[in-house]
Structure 1
Amino acid sequence: MAGTVGALSGVALGTGQSRAEAPAPGAEGWQAVPAPGSVPAAQLRSAAAAGPRLAWAVGEERYGGPSQALAMVWNGDGWAKSDLSHLDHTQLTAVAGVCPASAWSVGRPAGDGSPLLRWDGATWREVTFPGRGEPDVRLTSVAVGPDRQVWICGSRGGAVRLLHGDGRRWRWLDPLPVASVNLYGVVVGPRGAVWVSGDRSNGGGWSGLVARWDGAWTVLPPITGLRLGIADLHAAGPDDVWAVGTEAGVGGPPGRPGNPALSHWDGTAWTRVEAGFTVGSLTGIAGDAQGRAAWISGWNFQDQSRSTYLRRDGDAWVVVRGPAGGAPAPYLNAVTSVPGTTGFWSVGMTSPSPYPPTEAYTERHHA
């Protein structure tokens, strides 16, 4: 979900003890990596990695006008723009994949319905699924489990639900039993549990929403706030869930930055954790090889000279700045781990507004 804001210094979980911003020698392993070929204004909204020599990133180019879908592929040596001339889509919003034969993306079409795309080894191709082309079908995010099962959050028939399949057979699952909901993210957690996140109406605005599917829906209590939405989550288990997003607050001029929102679920209740900066957003979260939440991508409105992250440090989150000089005012939309390594990718754009022309942007982390 592009267009949020934030600033941080780590806070010990549940203690309220803040940690100073971490020093950034070598930007703590983050480095800017060129992602050439996009037509400004351009941004990457989502990324996924199958390993150190294969990753995907998707988004849009020419946005601010008649936008077009944008996709990049990493081959171990560099990013290359994928040819999408056969597609008629305005943007790709999410990507997930575990191997060349099981990588998927969803996006927004120029016409009716939402497309489901599969990687064919060279580019993205539309595939058939129940509801394809129906004007009320919306696919908003996608996740792929280690078993290559595909989980897509979206809506059909006026109800928010999951589409589940293996690439050959697909079925829509029971509707989420909550009214007035928007879903922005889906992830596969331990033991096959599937988690979704977004926001829900609370009468005068909206609150953060997190729910779990394990054969039936379990809807967690709302994450309260002043117009608060959840962009991404990480679930290490039913009693250890981190949710990140933005709280829009009350009123203000158009384009007013929000506030970063970080919350933890311990199996009983949500605890809001101070982000360490007060104006901006938290956009993505990724776990380490042990399954623990490890890195959060964000945007610090009050200091845009470098990218902003939160790094897990024991029982605290610490603010880390990205590399200097990688982009004029980098904005990160997502962060993802690289399987089989201790590395991570983050993706976004070189500045948070279309003008001056922003371009696709990526950073890579080496431990």
Structure 2
Amino acid sequence: MAGTIGTLAGATLGPAPSRAGVPAPRTQGWQAVPAPGSAPAAQLRRVAAAGPRLAWAVGEENLSAQTQQRALAMLWNGDTWTKTDLSHLGHTRLTDVAGVGRTTAWSVGQPVGDGSPLLRWNGTTWCEAAFPGKGEADVRLNSVAVGPGRQVWICGSRGGAARLLHGNGRRWRWLDPLPVASVNLYRVVVRSPGEVWVSGDRSNGGGWSGLVARWDGAWTVLPPIAGLRLGIADLHSAGPDDVWAVGTEAGVGGPPGRPGNPALSHWDGTAWTRLEAGFTLGSLTGITGDTQGRAAWISGWNFQDQSRSTYLRRDGETWTIVRGPADTAPAPHVNDVTSIPGTTGFWSVGMTRPAPYPPTEAYAERLEA
């Protein structure tokens, strides 16, 4: 296993990473795209695109001490982002979204009462969908992905164990539990019809370490990604020996509001290698691939320079810091990045400030490459 990265005020908490390869920051063609209509405080957590004229983004809005926060969903029609009406549902947060067509999109979110909701986009509105375990108090649906054949994969938990829920919109079944205890799953991605990956964190006795696992009819759990309270927010697999994982290492603690450290790791089929992100305080929030399936862009948050959004772009075998547009938001925080099918472009979403409190609003950027 590679050494742990953890830097605070110049003090390294673990061995230096094995390679850096991060040149000086430079500007790339990311542009802010207005996402109007949310009630502060608001943020978009995840984004999915079916093509250049169809995308979805989800999160929450109206987060304040005096009011009840509400789930937030937006739709891209090729020209503008439009807030979609969720008043008939009453949910408080949507955590993920995935879609491949005008009537084929799915979202999961924060429980209202018992159990997490599963929502389906029917081309006009979001509606609750039935699935085994709906309404059960211990069911949590955390992330959703749609793969070839419009097969839907959802990671979460049921019966006290981390699991995958698999279906086609009509028939669903829970797969075998992940054979690891004390696990939280935050992301599911589909590489091929029979190869699905999940990421999150697992208890290690005194904290937690990063977790990545593969389902291909049975579970394969990769060795934990060592760290001081490290969680994996997202991953990208170009193959069993080429997996990238991004997240945040909380470190040894500190004053309230102390940011963590960005965590970037690569699996070569044998071991994890930890890499520098190019900045030391903040987080890495999402990762997506290019048209060839290679890891291409990582979204992040650079605590030490919040004037623009921060990305890492793949340059051969290294990652280069790229900054978003200037003067478009007070201190933009990007939560997710995804490719736009049928193009070489990308979407990212987040919020106009680093915390979802008033007057923070939903925020989006686009790269037309």
Q: TM-score, normalised by structure 2?
A: 0.94
Structure 1 partner of 2:4: none
Q: Give 1:356 shift.
A: 4.6
Specify whether residues 57 and 272 from structure 1 end up closer, same or farther in structure 2 by C-alpha distance, changes over 3 A only. same
Structure 2 partner of 1:324: 326
- More contact order relative to length (CA 8 Å, sep ≥ 6): 1
Structure 2 partner of 1:52: 52
Q: Give 1:355 shift.
A: 4.2
Q: In the alignment, which of 145, 151, 154 is matched to residue 153 of structure 2?
A: 151
Find the aligned partners of 1:355 and 1:170 in 2 and give their Cα distance. Answer: 37
Q: In the alignment, which of 98, 105, 109 is matched to residue 100 of structure 2?
A: 98
Identity of aligned residues (%): 79
Per-residue CA deviations over 1:163-222 (Å, capped at 9, x if unaligned) read: 000000000000000000000000001453000000000000000000000000000000
Structure 1 partner of 2:253: 251
Q: In the alignment, which of 216, 219, 225 is matched to residue 217 of structure 1?
A: 219
Q: In the alignment, which of 297, 308, 314 is matched to residue 295 of structure 1?
A: 297
Unaligned stretches of 5+ in structure 1?
Answer: 7-13
Q: In the alignment, which of 21, 45, 54 is matched to residue 18 of structure 1?
A: 21
Find the aligned partners of 1:147 and 1:21 in 2 and give their Cα distance. Answer: 42
SS in 2 for 1:310: strand
Q: Give 1:22 shift.
A: 3.6
Structure 2 partner of 1:260: 262
Q: How does 1:79-98 map to 2 (within 5 A)?
A: 79-98=81-100
Q: How does 1:135-174 map to 2 (within 5 A)?
A: 135-174=137-176
8 Å Cα contact 1:145-1:192 kept in structure 2:
no
Q: Give 1:148 shift.
A: 0.5
Structure 2 partner of 1:11: none
Q: How does 1:104-123 map to 2 (within 5 A)?
A: 104-123=106-125
Structure 2 partner of 1:9: none
Q: Give 1:101 shift.
A: 2.6
SS in 2 for 1:60: strand
Find the aligned partners of 1:280 and 1:22 in 2 and give their Cα distance. Answer: 16
Unaligned stretches of 5+ in structure 2?
Answer: 1-6, 9-16
Find the aligned partners of 2:357 and 2:342 in 1 and give their Cα distance. Answer: 38
Q: Give 1:62 shift.
A: 1.0
Per-residue CA deviations over 1:19-46 (Å, capped at 9, x if unaligned) read: 322421xxx1200000000000000000
Q: How does 1:53-68 map to 2 (within 5 A)?
A: 53-65=53-65, 66-68=68-70
**How many residues in Structure 1 have an aligned counterpart in Structure 2?**
353
Find the aligned partners of 2:64 and 2:292 in 1 and give their Cα distance. Answer: 40
RMSD of Structure 2 on Structure 1 (CA): 1.4
Q: Give 1:353 shift.
A: 1.7
SS in 1 for 2:148: coil
Per-residue CA deviations over 1:281-330 (Å, capped at 9, x if unaligned) read: 00000000100000000000000000000000111100000000111000
Find the aligned partners of 2:321 and 2:278 in 1 and give their Cα distance. Answer: 7
Q: How does 1:182-221 map to 2 (within 5 A)?
A: 182-190=184-192, 192-221=194-223
SS in 2 for 1:189: strand
8 Å Cα contact 1:144-1:150 kept in structure 2:
yes
Find the aligned partners of 2:41 and 2:357 in 1 and give their Cα distance. Answer: 7
Which aligned segments of 4 or more residues in structure 1 are displaced greater than 3 angstroms?
none
Find the aligned partners of 2:342 and 2:194 in 1 and give their Cα distance. Answer: 20
Find the aligned partners of 1:183 and 1:354 in 2 and give their Cα distance. Answer: 22
Structure 2 partner of 1:10: none
Structure 2 partner of 1:33: 33
SS in 1 for 2:236: strand
Structure 2 partner of 1:270: 272
One-letter code of the match for 1:227? R
